[in-house]
Amino acid sequence: MIITVTMNPAIDKTVEIDALIPGGLHRIQRVEYDAGGKGINVSKTLRALGGESIATGFLGGNAGRMIEQVLRDEGIRTDFVWVDGETRTNTKVFEKNGAVTELNEPGSVIAQEQKLDLLKKLEDYAAKDVLFVLSGSVPKGMDAGIYAEITQLVHVKGAKVLLDADGELFRRSLEAVPDMIKPNHVELADYAALGEKTTEAEILRVAKELTASGIDTVMVSRGKLGAMMVRSEQMLSAPALPVNAHSTVGAGDAMVAALAYACERKLDMEECMRLCMAASAGAVTTIGTKPPARTLVDELMKQVEIKR
């Protein structure tokens, strides 16, 4: 069973314009609304791949009810904690040249009682063969140690954790040694204080150090440079697939979903890498934060070039 935890969900509003001019009037050419938030995007991609998950986290107000209904309509099980206030709406402005401007609302403030309600849910779900996907930002009322707290809580009952976070949230989470992590190369370079011009060798060194600390799998997405996966003494890499990209928004979430899917089905390392690369590439071809179709992912998997 896979449980996705979205602390800070959102309605993703995607608008397309010719060019963004500060202070100017813009004619919107297209608008898309999606149930969003990183964990929710993972659940949607898992569903598209043919997998199942339970989406949990915090929802509030009319926006929260809309998100829950959309997920249920798509056949995704939900079990959220309801909070005061309104779930945020994040606006993504796409220009014809490919530039994206994101306007993200802060979200609800979480009370201590609501935090405890969520922790109780997660503890009840935790068991052997259960994988928790902890991804994205956290709202006000939650500190940067929350993912570490959840990891320790579910590890006691034999569950596994896949982490996708950045900054202090990522750093603090590593203290609890999650089973899998999916940073991008910028996030990993920031964690290791490597500076802006980070080489592949330096990224690989940090990834190996993290596996040596007890993390089973380190998957590093590298944008146009592709990705690398490190497990123990093994390393695979693959260049990015040439696709007709619409937006990179959601590509990382698709990779996390593929990694979770591969873990649940016990795919070998090479097959896992192919699936992750194909799902991520497929996601950049979609509009808004919609997941790629399984047929597209299967076709793209044939094109993945694995390097050892």
Strand pairing report for 217-221 and 54-59: unpaired
Please name the residue that has the structure tokens 């007890």: 214
pLDDT in tens, the chain (308 residues): 999 999 999 998 989 999 999 999 999 999 988 898 999 999 999 999 999 999 999 999 999 999 999 999 999 999 999 999 899 998 989 898 888 898 988 888 999 999 999 999 999 999 999 999 999 999 988 999 999 999 999 999 999 999 999 999 999 999 999 999 999 999 999 999 987 778 889 999 999 999 999 999 999 999 889 999 999 879 999 999 988 877 677 899 999 999 999 999 999 999 999 999 999 999 989 876 789 999 999 999 999 999 98
Short-list 76, 88, 146, CA closest to 112: 146
- Show the tokens assigned to 19: 């060019």
CA distance 155 to 151: 6
pLDDT of residue 301: 96
Q: Which two tokens stand for residue 21?
A: 């001019």
User: For 108-138, b where at least 16 C-beta lie within 10 A, e where not — what string?
Assistant: bebeeebbebbbebbeebbeeebbbbbbbbb
At 195 the pLDDT is 76
Catalytic residue among 216, 253, 268, 298: 253
- Nearest residue to 272 via CA among 284, 288, 281, 261: 261
Residue 197 has a pLDDT of 77
pLDDT at 91 (0 to 100): 92
The β-bridge partners of 181 are 163, 218
How many CB atoms are closer than 10 A to CB 31?
Answer: 11
Phi and psi angles of residue 307, each rounded to the nearest 5 degrees, phi first: -120, 135
302 CB neighbour count, 10 Å cutoff = 8
Q: Could you give the CA distance from residue 110 to residue 139 in angstroms, rounded to a whole number?
A: 7
What's the distance, Cα to Cα, between the start and end of the chain in Å? 31
Label residue 104 exposed, middle or buried (CB < 10 Å: 0-12, 13-18, 19+).
Answer: middle
Residue 278 host element (H or E): helix 269-283
Question: What secondary structure, in 3-state letters, does 21-76 show?
Answer: CCCCCCCCCEEEEEEECHHHHHHHHHHHHCCCCEEEEEECHHHHHHHHHHHHHCCC
**How confident is the model at residue 233, as a pLDDT?**
79
pTM for this predicted structure: 0.93
- Predicted pLDDT of residue 120: 97
What distance in Å separates the CA atoms of residue 121 and residue 107, rounded to the nearest whole number?
21
Catalytic residue list contains 253: yes
